[in-house]
Every structure is written in C-alpha cells, then in structure tokens.
Amino acid sequence: MQEPVKPELCGTMATERPSRLRVFSLNCWGIRLLSQHCAQRYEMIGELLDREQHDIALLQEVWSEKDFLFLKGKLSPSHPYSHYFKSGVIGSGLAVFSKHRIQDALLYQYSLNGYPYMLRHGDWFGGKAVGLVIVDVFGLKAHVYVTHLHAEYSRAQDEYLPHRIVQSWELLQFVRHTSCGADLVILGGDLNMHPEDLGNRLLRSHTGLRDCYTETDMFDGCDDGHTLIADNHFTKKQDLIPFEKGIRIDYILIKGSHRVSMKCESLSTTKGSVADKPFPYSDHEALTADLTLLRSEDSRNALPASERMEVVSEARAVVKEGLCLTEALRDKASRLMCAALLLLLLVFLPCLCHFSFTTTGFLGAVCTGALLSGALLYLLFTTHIKVLKETEDQMLLSSNELHTKLTGCRVSGSSSSDGSPELQPSGSFKREE
C-alpha cells in the first residue's frame, strides 16, 4: 500500500509540507462583446478562486489581457504567481494562477488551427496552443500544462478532425519531450474531444497521462462527468446534438514519476447554475481535482506497444485523409488563380474587350481580388499540406519504433518491391573482417 509523501522524500523540504494538491480548470468563455455577462462572470470566477484556495488554476478562453490583469489583481493575495500566454491574432486565451512559485514558462502554438476564411468559427484567429509552466510544488518539480484544442462543430461532418488530430499529436510530443525530469505532470484544459475519441486516446496512450474522472473514487458533479450540459443557461442546445444531456470535453490529466506518484482522491464539477447568482460561471463547467502525492518506486503506466501502434495507425489514416482533402483544396485555389489571371488578361486586352473605363476597372478589380485570394489560399493550403506530411512522417517513425519493440525487427527507410517497408533484424551491426 502506498503511503503519503513525506518531507524527507524530497530532501530539504519543510517538515510541515502538505501532501495534497488542488487543481482547477475552466473554459471561461471570455469573448468580449460576444460572450454574455463577461465582466460579471469574471468577477464570479475571481471570487470562486479566492474562496476555494486552489493550488493551481488553469483557465482557457481568457481572450482579453485586460480580463487576465483583472483576475491577477483580484487573486494576488491567494495566488501570487501567474502567467498569461500570448499568441495568434487575439491571443491563446490560456492563463495560469498558482499559490506556488512559477519558475519558468514555455508556449507552443499548434501548426494547424482551422481556416481564416471560416469567420463564423473563428478558431484560426485565436492562437490555439499548449502552455507549460514549471512550478515549485512543495519542493517537487511540477510541469503543469494548459491547452485548448480546435472545436468540433459537427459530429457527423467534422471537417476539422485532421486538424485536431495534428494538435493532439503535437500536444503529446510537447508533453513527452518537455516533461523529462519532472516529478509531477498535470495537464488541464478544453480538449474538445470525447473521452474515447481518437485524439484523446492518442494523447493518453503516448504520454501515460491518466484521466482524473476515471481515476477517482469520489465524484461530485454532472452526470457522467459532463462539462457541457443542457441545463447550463449559456449552452446552445444545437451544440450538443446528438448528445441531449451533455458531453465531457474538459479534462484534468495527471502523471507522477519514479519519485512521486499522484492519485485523484476526488473530482468535482460545477452544475450549471450558481447559488445566489443569476447565471453560471461559463458555458462550460469547471473542474476541481483533489490530488494526493504518494511514495512511488515508478509510476509509469504505459499501454502495450500493440495498442499504441493501433492508435497511431488510426491517427495516420485520419491525417492521410486530411492530406487528400487539403490537396484537393489547393488544386481548387490553383484553378481559381488561373481563371482570375485569364480573365484579367481578357479585360485589359482592348482588341478583345470594348467595355467602358468604369466597367473595365470594376472587372479588373474583381479579377485582381480573385487572383490574390487564390494565391493566399494556395499558400495557406501548401503550408497545411507540409504540416500534415510532417505529422504523418513523425507518426510513421513512432509506429516503426513500436513495431521494433514488438517484433525485434527494425523497419528500414527503404521499401521492398511490393512497396511495404523492409524489415531487418534489430541486432547490432557487425563489420566484416
């Protein structure tokens, strides 16, 4: 049976050091001029965080830095350390407040994040990213991540699925390569994925992160842990179709180390309405996880290589499909450029066209606009294609490495006559005498 962490485990820590950690996560829905009752809700969120005394609060969709500065001022007595991550046109929306000293911070902006011409969705303008803060928690080195992935606007026809898979892959790669040497790893945020969605399985299987909802024995919150519910005053019912009661898309994920492991003792969510308040904190429900730090020889719980290979194969298939669709979009942009250029030439050839100056100028402006639009779209889709190809190559490397662990044969970079990768024994290479 594991015992709570004691001070001597971490060297010169104070003997009264606690062995529990409270983590909070909320998508604040803080779009100024668009989100309802934004200022009043930030006041409510500040009161909640000040009252509940969480160790770490992970916030998403704090789109305005003014709102962050308001919270920073309000929470300075209870959470003296904070960091606001800036990226994209209107920001990343990510913020961290902590009772414990933040030693360092790092931001990674996702390579794919929707399309600029999809104005009604707007994800492209927010620099969706993952933020990392390294926090000194009771003398332990905690790597704390906060993130927000691209939204799913249609379950049946999800045109952004390849983008979200790429984001999931970049997220897990970022966590894997930056969490080495960490005593504690905590990730919170709005993943915009259901628990068993491909991107979610990919993230958990390759990082060893564990879902607090499935981990805890004590849960107090919405049915099935839902964080977007029909009973919330701000929820658009059409966003839940075909899930009438709600969906679970916000998470707190945890992982320990060989020094310390973590267990989620309890998890709770808000339940829509707030007592003595006219409206909820947000259109999402907030999560609070009470974590216990335990002695541990090794807390790694990696899935079998065969299962990880299967998940990577699924992800590669989605990325390939996204690649084909993006190449088709680039071809359309190329045809638009050619057509606009041809029309532009026809308009300004007096021997072929005899329009008035006004008509000619108008048609020329339209053709020039179409030509520039086509060129910009061509460049955009070319960039997306490169990201998708790079992600597929990385997934192939990962899949080959997992195959080597399973079979003892490594996959060479060349291909056999039938197009499949060649397998070679993984033993050490010996020079011929």
What Rg, from alpha-carbon coordinates, does the chain have?
Answer: 25
Q: Tell the burial category of 154 from Cβ atoms under 10 Å away from its Cβ (0-12, 13-18, 19+).
A: exposed
Say yes or no to pLDDT of 249 above 70.
Answer: yes
Of 372, 236, 219, 324, nearest to 316 by C-alpha is 324
pLDDT tens for 181-196 read 999 999 999 999 999 9
Global pTM?
0.86
**Ramachandran bin of 419, using left for φ above 0, alpha for ψ from -120 to 50, beta for the remaining angles:** left
CA neighbours closer than 13 Å in the CB half-sphere of residue 426: 12
pLDDT at 238 over 90: no
Does residue 216 surpass a pLDDT of 90? yes
pLDDT at 19 over 50: yes
Q: Tokens for 282? A: 């947000």
Q: Tell me how far apart the alpha carbons of residues 272 and 221 are, in angstroms, rounded to a whole number.
A: 10
Q: What percent of the chain has pLDDT over 90?
A: 67
Q: Which long-range contacts (CB under 8 A, 24 or more apart) does 228-236 make?
A: 228/283, 228/284, 228/285, 229/271, 229/272, 229/285, 231/271, 231/272, 231/273, 232/272, 232/280, 232/283, 232/285, 233/272, 233/273, 233/279, 233/280, 234/29, 234/36, 234/279, 234/280, 234/282, 234/283, 235/283
pLDDT at position 20 over 70: yes
* The CATH number of the domain covering residues in 7-295: 3.60.10.10
Q: What is the mean pLDDT of residues 296-303?
A: 59
The DSSP H or E segment spanning 186 is: strand 184-190
DSSP 18-44: -SEEEEEEEEEEE-TTTSTTHHHHHHH
Burial bucket for residue 7 (CB in 10 Å: 0-12, 13-18, 19+): middle
List of E strands, 36-158: 56-62, 81-85, 94-98, 102-109, 129-137, 140-148
Q: Which residue has the tokens 């409510």?
A: 44
Whole-number average pLDDT of the chain: 87
Q: How confident is the model at residue 211 (pLDDT cuts 50, 70, 90)?
A: very high
Strand ranges (E), 337-383: none
Q: What would the pLDDT profile of 146-169 be if each residue is shown by its tens digit?
A: 999 999 998 888 999 999 999 999
Provide φ and ψ at 416, rounded to 5°: -80, 180
pLDDT of residue 190: 98
The mean per-residue pLDDT over the stretch 216-232 comes to 95
Pairing of strands 287-295, 409-415: unpaired
Give dist(CA 87, CA 125) in Å, integer. 10
Q: What is the pLDDT of residue 301?
A: 60
Cα 259 from Cα 137, distance rounded (Å): 14
Look up 150 and say whether it is catalytic: no
Output the pLDDT for position 366.
85
Pick the catalytic residue from 284, 354, 384, 403: 284
Mean pLDDT, residues 295-310 taken together:
72
| Cβ burial, residue 316 (10 Å; 0-12/13-18/19+) | buried
**Tokens matching residue 323:** 């690649």
Alpha carbon distance 44, 281 (integer Å):
7
Domain extent listing, the chain? 7-295, 305-411
What confidence tier does 365 reach under pLDDT thresholds 50, 70, 90? confident
Cα 362 → chain centroid: 45
- Return d(Cα 267, Cα 213) in angstroms, integer: 7
CA 206, CA 397: separation in Å to the nearest integer?
A: 13
At 337, list the tokens: 């450029």
Token pair recorded at residue 134: 């390294």
Question: Could you write out the DSSP letters of every residue in 280-338?
Answer: -S-SSPPEEEEEEEEE-S----PPPHHHHHHHHHHHHHHHHHHHHHHHHHHHHHHHHHH
